Amino acid sequence: MNDDTPNPSAELSTNGVGPWRGKLPTDGRYDPELLELGDSRNVIDRYRYWSMAAIVADLDEHRHPFHVAIENWQHDMNIGSIVRSANAFGADTVHIIGRRRWNKRGAMVTDRYQHVMHHPDVAAFVAWAQEQGIPIIAIDNVPGSVIIETFDMPRRCVLLFGQEGPGLSAEAVSAADAVVEISQYGSTRSINASAAAAVAMHSWVLKHIFPLP
C-alpha cells in the first residue's frame, strides 16, 4: 500500500474511516483534522480525508452542463432530496426560486458540495437563464407536455421542477422553452417530486454521458 491510499480501521469501515495510519500525506487537499480523527462523512472513497474546499474544487473540474431549478413556494421537504440527487448526478448548480430558506435535512449535507443559487421569483430566474443562454426545460405532466423518453434533451439546460402536489406555477410553465413529462403506467396521477427529479437528471445522463448506439 502506498502512502496515498487510505487505510480504514475495521470497526469504522461501514461508516467511514478511522484516523490515517502510517506516514501522513503531504498533498494539500487532505484535511489535517480528518487525518488525525478519521472521516465519517458520506463521501466516495476518492474524497476520504479531503477538505471540503478541495472536494468542491475537484467537483468543479467535471460538473455536467445541466442545472436544476426548484420553485420553493411551499417550503417543500423534497427540495433537500433534489439537491442530494443533483450532487449525485453532477449538476452544475441548483437554483432555488422564491423562498430563500428551504428544509436541508433531505440533502444529507450534500448542499455543502453543491453550488446553490437563489432567485427571488420566476421572472428573476428567467432573466438569469436568458442572460446565460440556457434553455429552461420544465418537468411537469400538464397539457401540451411531451414525454421525456422521446424528448431531445439539450446538453446545456436547466431542469425546472415544481412542488409536491401543485407542481409548477403557471408563470413557470409559460416561461419554459419546453415542458416534459415522465411516462407513467399506474393509477396515480403523479410521482414524488424528488423521484421525478432524479429520473429527469438520469435521463440527461443517459442522453449525454452514456448515449445508446
DSSP annotation of 168: S
Does the CA dihedral 72-76-77-81 come out positive or negative?
Answer: negative
Copy the grid coordinates of residue 73: 413556494
Is 146 part of any domain?
yes
CA-CA distance, 60 to 57, in Å (whole number)?
A: 5
**Mean of the per-residue pLDDT values for the chain?**
90
Is 3 part of any domain?
no
DSSP annotation of 33: H
Look at residues 180, 110, 173 and name the one whose alpha carbon lies nearest to residue 139: 180
Is 173 part of any domain?
yes
- Looking at residue 188, what is its pLDDT? 87
Same domain, 75 and 47: no
Number of domains present in the structure of the chain: 2
- Looking at residue 213, what is its pLDDT? 65
Same domain, 161 and 195: yes
Same domain, 19 and 72: no
Please say whether the beta carbons of 66 and 156 come within 8 A. yes
Is 100 part of any domain?
yes
Same domain, 42 and 72: no
CATH, residue 170 = 3.40.1280.10
Q: Is the pLDDT of residue 162 over 60?
A: yes
Same domain, 146 and 202: yes
Same domain, 30 and 129: no
Same domain, 129 and 92: yes
Range of the domain at 39: 10-60
Same domain, 34 and 100: no
Task: Give the pLDDT band of residue 10 (cuts 50, 70, 90).
Answer: very low
Model pLDDT for residues 31-88, shown as the tens digit of each residue: 999 999 999 999 999 999 999 999 999 999 999 999 999 998 676 688 999 999 999 9
Same domain, 31 and 111: no
Same domain, 153 and 101: yes
pTM of the predicted model as reported, rounded to 2 decimal places: 0.89
Tell me phi and psi for residue 20, to 5 degrees: -65, 135
Is 2 part of any domain?
no
Is 213 part of any domain?
no
Model pLDDT for residues 92-150, shown as the tens digit of each residue: 999 999 988 888 888 999 999 999 999 999 999 999 999 999 999 999 999 999 999 99
Q: Is the pLDDT of residue 9 over 50?
A: no
Same domain, 117 and 175: yes
